[in-house]
Amino acid sequence: IDQRGGLSNNTVVGILVDEEGIRWVSTFMGINLVSPQGEVIAQLFEEDGLSNNEFNRYSYFRDSRGRLLFGSVNGVNIIEPESLKEQLRGGADLRIYLTGVTSFDPRSATDSTRNYGFGQMGTISLPAAHRYLELDFALSNLVRPEDHRFYYQIVPAGKSPSANWIFLGHESQLYLPDLSPGRYDILIRGADYRGSWAQEPLVVSVRVAEFFYREVWFYLLLFAVGAGIGLTLLFREVRQRRRLERIVEQRTQKIREDKELIEAQARQLQELDQVKSRFFTNISHEFRTPLTVISGMVTQMRQQPEQWLEKGMELIQRNSSHLLTLINQILDLRKLESGALKVHWVQGDIIPFCRYLADSFSSMAQLKGIRLHFQSSVPELVMDYDPDKMLQILSNLLSNAIKHAPGPAEIFLEIDRTAIDGTEALLLRVRDTGPGIRPQALPFIFDQFYQADPLSYEESTHKPAGSGVGLA
């Protein structure tokens, strides 16, 4: 604690503690009474009966009777602490009063100072453009006013003060240049030259106005006006658009009806022609595959009848059955044209079925010097499948691989187990040692009638035969 905290002087020469725990602090300017909490509660000087205001170092003592002895430059001072404190407490109540207020006066449009004597006023209202305030105040004890000390703090209206008081020094005036908008209580407390505090702080209520364009009602007004203008423009645009749409619709209705009729007729004719052409193209492609197998097997049987007779007859029988199936599909043309293509599920081990199909193409592969291998990573895979659809898929993949593999090569039909979205599925992979397909052609290989040249065909005069419908 120092002079800013209320001490009469920063040079402390002695400290004694009485029965109540009050510290009596002698300095070069009087004696200070300090509470156990560190607050200066009173001060004593020559006019209070001390021999001198300046005390000596190490010259202090408390006797057995509780009296306090302090030596000054003009003799020893003997103090009865309880008696003196009773005298200090028994004096007149110390109060602090508002004596003047300086603020902007809207009536005169200038600064105005109002004097209030020792009275207290109501709430002070400040306009938004002039948010400054100057307060003058005084203690009821008029002895040595130059040694009075004042503190202040600003709290929201109705709130209790905190322990963080701002020291004003000995100035009995407070100037606040720029108060924020809102309602506040300005609290001012003071102590006289003895260090005695006013019983209650001075409370000045202040209301500071906000600029109208920052008020909530102004924002709501702007929103309402903007919304009204926006809705008006929107409704006007909607009405104009609807009126124009009706006019355009009326004028183009006849043209649109004629155009739709012509397009519908042309579309029906085109679809009918495409269905017919696609059907015969697909059937022709499906016929060519088993006929190629039968032709290859007949050649093998002629060259090596002892070796291929029994097996060749079996393969010819299988592919003849496949041709019969295709003929049945032709007879069922009406169902195909109506789109009623059904899937006939059966459950069984698909590994022998795939091996059977691979064996059916072995003779066709041998005619071109191609070795056809069947590989399966699992010995058994029981699943639901349509034998006819699987026959079409594998026949097309194998025949294309054999047909487009130039010269001696190897073809692998690989069976594996995989999962799609957590569901177990069959993975068919046909790979060969041929040149492959150019990457830029891959997006189009499932388009009907599309034929992609292998990588090596740019430098070759050989072009593979095919209709381009199988993969589609």
Q: What is the pLDDT of residues 206-259, one digit of tens each?
A: 998 888 777 788 889 999 999 999 999 999 999 999 999 888 888 888 888 888
For a pLDDT cut of 70, what percent of the chain falls above it? 85
Q: Given this model, what pLDDT does residue 462 score?
A: 46
Residue of 145, 139, 137, 150 whose CA lies nearest to 102? 137
What are residue 428's DSSP bridge partners?
415
Phi, psi of 180 (to 5 degrees): -75, 155
Across residues 140-164, what is the average pLDDT? 86
Lowest mean pLDDT: which of 121-135, 265-279, 378-392?
265-279
pLDDT at 346: 94
Q: For residue range 295-317, list pLDDT tens digits in order.
A: 888 998 898 888 888 888 888 88
32 exposed, middle or buried (CB, 10 Å; 0-12, 13-18, 19+)?
Answer: buried
Q: Are 82 and 105 in contact (CB under 8 A)?
A: no
Q: Range with the lowest mean pLDDT among 340-344, 443-447, 468-472?
A: 468-472
Examine the pLDDT at 76 and tell me if it is beyond 90.
yes
φ and ψ of 450, to 5 deg: -80, 135
Q: Which domains does the chain have, with CATH numbers?
A: 3-89 (2.40.10), 96-214 (2.60.40.10)
The residue ranking higher by pLDDT, 142 or 255, is 255
Q: Please tell me the pTM assigned to this model.
A: 0.37
pLDDT, tens digit (0-9, with 9 covering 90-100), for 421-452: 888 889 999 888 767 777 887 776 765 545 56
pLDDT (average), residues 71-83: 92
Q: What is the pLDDT of residues 24-73, one digit of tens each?
A: 999 999 999 998 988 888 888 888 889 999 999 999 999 999 999 999 99
- What's the sign of the alpha-carbon dihedral 266, 268, 271, 276? negative
Q: Are 402 and 411 in contact (CB under 8 A)?
A: yes
Mean pLDDT of 148-158: 91
In the chain, the amino acid numbered 128 is A
Angle formed by the axes of helices 387-403 and 305-331, to 10°?
120
467: pLDDT strictly greater than 50: no
Answer yes or no: is pLDDT of 363 > 90. no
* Res. 109 pLDDT band, cuts 50 70 90: low
pLDDT per position as a tens digit, 274-301: 767 766 776 777 788 788 888 888 998 8
Q: Which of 342, 346, 370 is nearest to 358 (CA)?
A: 370
